[in-house]
Each structure stands twice: as C-alpha cells, then as structure tokens.
C-alpha cells in the first residue's frame, strides 16, 4: 500500500511543562499527514472540496506507546487502510527514528457540502481506491 512520510519537529507550544507533547496534538499531526498524502498523490484536499466532496471525521483512535518531546524530529507515515463506498480509513504510524511512538486511525465519511452522505460512484472515490492499492 502506498504511503506518505511527513517529517516535522515537535514545537514548544505543543508540549507541557515537562517538554512532552500533549496527547491532543496527535490528531492534528494526523490531519497534517492526510493533507500531505493527498497532495503527494496529486490532489490536495482543497480540490476535493472544490469538487463537492468533504471528509468529515466519524471515528478517530490513537494508541500512545512512547512520548514525543519538544524539538524531536518525528516522521509520520500515513496510508489509506480501507476505502468503502461511503467512507475512507486512514492509518498513521508516528516514529522517532526507528522507534514507534504512536499509531492511530481516522475514518471519514464522503459527504456533500450540505452534509449528505455520498455512497460510492463519485470519481474522487474511485480515484482514491486506485491510488491506495498501487504499489510504489
């Protein structure tokens, strides 16, 4: 499965007094990973919205294994785990070097601008299916 790797540093504002990244930042980092993946695949998320497809989050999870700390360089590996006619699930693995710090998933519905569910058949959904199953 094709993946994207986004490299960044933990910012001071993302940490507590002990220099450990707050757990809520991981979902923000996951969003950065999704955006990077779409951009690298040739279709930034803004163009999805221009074509009438929105991706509201309907489920999110994160398993924390080891803390991320201020100014550490991290790499977030993002891939598409599953595409269904009405949703897509992204998978995330966050590393410091070779050490896995956290892993998570988000599931997103395919929706119209007014919030109605799109149930398959949309060209963007087919495009996502094709990209997520290609081999590098």
| Model pLDDT for residues 23-44, shown as the tens digit of each residue | 999 999 999 999 999 999 999 9
The pTM (predicted TM-score) of the whole model is 0.92
> What architecture (CATH level 2) is domain 3-133?
Roll (3.10)
The verdict on whether 98 is a catalytic residue reads no
Distance between CA atoms of residues 92 and 64, nearest Å: 12
Identify the active-site residue in 16, 50, 71, 98.
16
Q: What is the pLDDT of residue 136?
A: 45
**Domain residue ranges of the chain, discontinuous segments joined by +:** 3-133
Closest of 77, 71, 68, 70 to residue 96, by C-alpha = 68
DSSP state of 101: E
């Amino acid at each position: 499965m094709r993946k994207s790797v986004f490299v960044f540093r933990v910012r001071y504002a993302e940490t507590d007094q002990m220099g450990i990244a707050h757990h809520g930042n991981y979902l923000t980092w996951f969003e950065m990973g999704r955006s990077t993946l779409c951009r690298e695949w040739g279709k930034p998320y803004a163009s999805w919205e221009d074509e009438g497809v929105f991706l509201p989050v309907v489920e999110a999870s994160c398993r924390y294994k080891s803390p991320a700390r201020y100014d550490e360089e991290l790499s977030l590996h993002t891939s598409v785990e599953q595409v269904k006619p009405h949703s897509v699930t992204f998978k995330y693995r966050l590393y410091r070097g070779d050490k896995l710090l956290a892993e998570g998933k988000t599931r997103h519905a395919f929706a119209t601008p007014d919030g109605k569910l799109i149930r398959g058949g949309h060209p963007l959904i087919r495009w996502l299916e094709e990209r997520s199953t290609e081999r590098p």
